[in-house]
Amino acid sequence: MKGANSPLAGKESIRTTLYLLNANNTTVLADGVYTEYNDLYHDSVLLEDAYKFTNINENLGIVRYGAVLSVERRPIITKSDTLFFKLWKTTKRNYQFEFTTTNLDHPGMQAVLQDSYLGTSLALTLNGITKLNFVVNTDAASANVNRFKIVYVTNIAAAVLPVTFASVKGFEINKKIAIEWKVENEINIKKYEVERSSNGLDFNMLSSITVSGFKNDHNSYSWIDNQRLSGNSFYRIKSVDMDGTIKFSVIVKFTTGATGQGTITIYPNPIQGNIINLQFTSQTTGLYQLRLINNNGQVVYAGILPVNSPNSSQTIMTNTKLSCGIYQLEIKAPDNVVQIKRAIVQ
């Protein structure tokens, strides 16, 4: 055990764990690597490091000077230091990264995970845990062994992409409309504004929401419309950066006073990008299991969607680029009844 005066006391480290992510959001450990920083270590591959022994299935390693490592020991982090991952023997499925960091919160420095396939960046919690879900699909680029790396930067704004709306949904509660949204990469955001429209074109601001102040990979917000419209209502969230930059979420449609047989509808259809909007009308509440299947019979997205109101509108983001074509969206209700919806991607 290291004492308080030991040169390794208060060590700086990052542990990266790879999990298989199942449709019910449970995980199975696949592999992991570890990096420790201290000025007693060297910027070379020496005996203090540990080489990677390959697995039969998924493999995660750290690449340094042509070697692939499972444990790397390096000097204290400096500007533009980079951690290069190698991920191979993946299959077409959902995965999850878990980054556990200790004492990496250097003043003016930030660790940023970069995904070269999606072109996204995620600021990591520097003394705690950050999780990221990702997908390997039919696109060969999604299985690129060098897809991920961590870069340590001083200019956070230049390295991290603007806020991303991970999900937006609306549902009926006590004859009111509740709007909920989750965001990623919440850096330099000043506020959010909730906007509503009766026709999906002309929007008015209803409320301004101050950011939570908690620096997580996902932050969640909610707002209740106490004066709902009759018929169709369209909602969207506007983010406002500190420098005035504006970005809008997807539009969520909600229909009040709906009667007749219950339905689940994709809107709009054809869909664009990786966003699927679902309108639930007179449906059973509970957990819905979703699978999006392409023309080759391959599952390109699988997930669990909680539906808390018989009438609600929810947004699904597949976290991967969808190729143009015709897909089947398989929706399994809590009573195990399965509906198949045809989705067209343009």
Last-in-domain residue among 203, 236, 257: 257
3-class secondary structure, 261: coil
Report how far residue 342's alpha carbon sits from residue 323's, in angstroms, rounded to the nearest whole number: 15
At 229 the pLDDT is: 81
Domain-embedded: residue 147: yes
On whether both 235 and 269 belong to a single domain, the answer is no
Count how many Cα atoms sit within 13 Å of the Cα of residue 71 in the half-sphere of its side chain. 7
Residues 6+ apart with CB under 8 A from 336: none
- Helix runs in 105-255, H state only: 156-159
CB atoms within 10 A of CB 291: 18
Domain-embedded: residue 1: no
At 29 the pLDDT is: 96
CB atoms within 10 A of CB 55: 12
Query: Which string of b and e fits 187-209 if b means at least 16 CB within 10 Å?
Result: bebeebbbbbbeeeeebeeeeee
On whether both 41 and 138 belong to a single domain, the answer is yes
- The residue assigned the tokens 């499925």 is 93
Contact 194, 237 (CB under 8 A): yes
CATH of the domain at 298: 2.60.40.1930
DSSP code for 156: H
Q: Which of 64, 35, 60, 34 shows the shortest CA–CA distance to 134?
A: 60
Contact 289, 23 (CB under 8 A): yes
Contact 14, 150 (CB under 8 A): yes
Parent domain of 126: 12-159
Report how far residue 12's alpha carbon sits from residue 219's, in angstroms, rounded to the nearest whole number: 26
Tokens of 112: 């940023």
**pLDDT tens, position by position, for the chain (346 residues)?**
333 344 444 589 999 999 999 888 889 999 999 999 999 999 899 999 999 999 999 999 999 999 999 999 999 887 778 999 999 999 999 999 999 999 988 777 788 888 888 777 777 888 889 888 898 988 888 899 999 999 887 655 444 555 677 777 777 777 788 888 888 767 678 889 999 988 777 888 999 988 876 555 567 888 999 887 877 788 888 888 877 777 887 777 776 655 445 688 888 888 877 788 888 887 888 888 888 888 777 888 888 888 887 878 888 877 677 888 888 888 888 887 778 888 888 7
CATH of the domain at 204: 2.60.40.10
Last-in-domain residue among 226, 257, 288: 257
3-class secondary structure, 146: coil
Domain-embedded: residue 206: yes
Tokens of 281: 């009308």
Task: Label the pairing between strands 129-136 and 120-123.
Answer: unpaired
On whether both 189 and 308 belong to a single domain, the answer is no
On whether both 123 and 245 belong to a single domain, the answer is no
On whether both 149 and 16 belong to a single domain, the answer is yes
Q: Render 7-76 in DSSP notation, one character per residue.
A: TTTT-EEEEEEEEEE-TTS-EEEEEEEEEEE-TTS-SS--TTSEEPPPPSS-EEEEEETTEEEEEEEESS
- The residue assigned the tokens 């809107």 is 267
At 253 the pLDDT is: 75
On whether both 35 and 154 belong to a single domain, the answer is yes
Last-in-domain residue among 135, 159, 183: 159
Total domains in the fold of the chain: 3
On whether both 112 and 179 belong to a single domain, the answer is no
Report how far residue 40's alpha carbon sits from residue 241's, in angstroms, rounded to the nearest whole number: 41
Domain-embedded: residue 286: yes
On whether both 136 and 171 belong to a single domain, the answer is no
At 38 the pLDDT is: 92
Domain-embedded: residue 38: yes
On whether both 149 and 210 belong to a single domain, the answer is no
At 317 the pLDDT is: 78
At 254 the pLDDT is: 74
Q: Provide φ and ψ at 267, rounded to 5°.
A: -145, 145
